[in-house]
Amino acid sequence: MQQKSALVVFMPFIFVFGLILSLLLAFGSNSAAACMTTGNSGNGSQPAAHAPAAEPVTSIGDRGETIKTYLPELKEASALSGFPVSLIAATIHQESGWDPNAVSGVGAQGLAQFMPGTWPSYGNGGDPFNPRDAIRAMGRYMGDLKRILRNSGVGGDEIDNVLRAYNAGPTAVIRQDGGWNTSENADYAPAIRAHWKQYQTLIKDLGIEDYPTGEQEPSLSNVTAQKATAAATNSAPAEKKNTSSTKRECKKEAAKTDKNNTGGNTGGSVSTDSSGDDYPWAHMAHCSGDYSYCPTTPDPTNALPSECVAFAAWRVTRQTGGDAENITFHSPGNASVWLGHWTGRGWPSGHDPRVGAVVYYGPHVAGMSGYGHVAMVKEVRDDGTFVEEGYNGLGAPNDHIYYTRVVSNGSPSAFLYMPNA
């Protein structure tokens, strides 16, 4: 009786205890499912609603410490390019896998995989194998690519276009309206976008602001960009990995057959006396006078041989401490882009001729073609004129040779002064 009475007495308590235990077990089971990183409890349930759409961060490796180590440079690259830190990081991941000593099969170097011919224009005197220098240079280069592609009006997604241009050069993207020029390049932007999602997650987890420049979007659409600013520069970086050379012509709209033609309405006497010519690569094959043929091999300044930009880049190299074995300045492209590139580097320009300055003619200025023209100031005179020297400033058959001519001070668009002047 006592046992039965005790059981009867304690039955409600046993029931209540069992109910509480069941509730605790149920609650614990749901909590465990909510903490699963895969978002799947293993019993056929759907992924948790808060599971990120991006791939797991682990697929890009443990890059948290890497991001923190190079965060100052990544933020600087973001500010220089206008793209988020996560996209810069994803591009580095695709380029080198964060290996500062990487060298590709075509000679691209370092963390950001710059070609030796392009590095001097963006490295600011640094070392492509120094990861901090390389990250900053990547920011400068991506910013230049964005500006030149906006100016060109190329269609398609701007971010994809910049990424493809980083891999194959802007000319490939502009000419092929999006740059799907090779199967390798077609896969390049999608691969970076896949990494980008993961780096976005990682950077958010690290508590890092992904847009340190304050931009709300990584870039403008091309339609918006065309309306946004007339201040977009004409800077056109040298191609990075595409080994095919573009026509960096300095040809003139004027007659191509008159040997006395000056190639522009600059006035003054003209001479083809080569006594002042020190261009080292005049022996290399150059474009024909009508540009129906151009060689595929550039000279060491990254210009097609005997073009106006080749001679000018050589003279700038000489004045910045370089020589034929140590090129310190590479041509950024057609003559028309030199002013934007020059001022983009913070180098001075003005409207007064100085001996040793680059003479810059914008497109269609003083009778020049849409490619513009660059030369050098050889002598400044007291009568409001100067002596210009250069290459490919005359019509055929005197194209692609050294020349001098007397020019009015007001004829060029600008003079580009040496950074150490």
Domain definitions of the chain by residue range: 57-228, 270-416
131 vs 12: CA distance, rounded Å: 72
* Cα atoms in the Cβ-side hemisphere of radius 13 Å centred on 336: 17
Closest C-alpha to 55, from 93, 111, 112, 99? 93
The whole-angstrom separation of Cα 398 and Cα 272 is 8
> Tell me: the pLDDT tens digits for 124-151?
889 999 999 999 999 999 988 888 888 7
Q: Which residue has the tokens 């690569």?
A: 281
Give me the phi and psi of 298, to 5 degrees please. -80, 170
Strand partners, 407: 386
Angular region, 190: left φ>0, alpha ψ -120 to 50, beta rest: alpha
Weakly modelled stretches of the chain, pLDDT under 50: 1-11, 13-14, 16, 21-56, 179, 213-240, 242-249, 251-265
User: Which tens digit of pLDDT belongs to each residue from 332-375?
Assistant: 888 888 988 898 889 999 999 999 999 999 888 888 877 889 99
Domain 270-416: top CATH class: alpha beta
Residue 151 to residue 226: CA distance in whole angstroms? 8
- Give the C-alpha distances (Å, rounded to integers) separating 259 from 136, 246, 263, 283, 366: 48, 26, 10, 21, 18
Give me the pLDDT at residue 30, please.
34
The pTM score is 0.44
Residue 287 token pair: 């474009």
- Using CA atoms of 11, 15, 20, 26 in order, give the dihedral in degrees to the nearest 10: 150
Task: Check: CB of residue 124 under 8 Å from CB of residue 132.
Answer: no
For residue range 55-91, what is the model confidence (pLDDT) as tens digits? Answer: 445 557 678 999 999 999 999 999 888 899 999 999 9
Query: In this structure, which topology does domain 57-228 adopt according to CATH?
Result: Lysozyme (1.10.530)
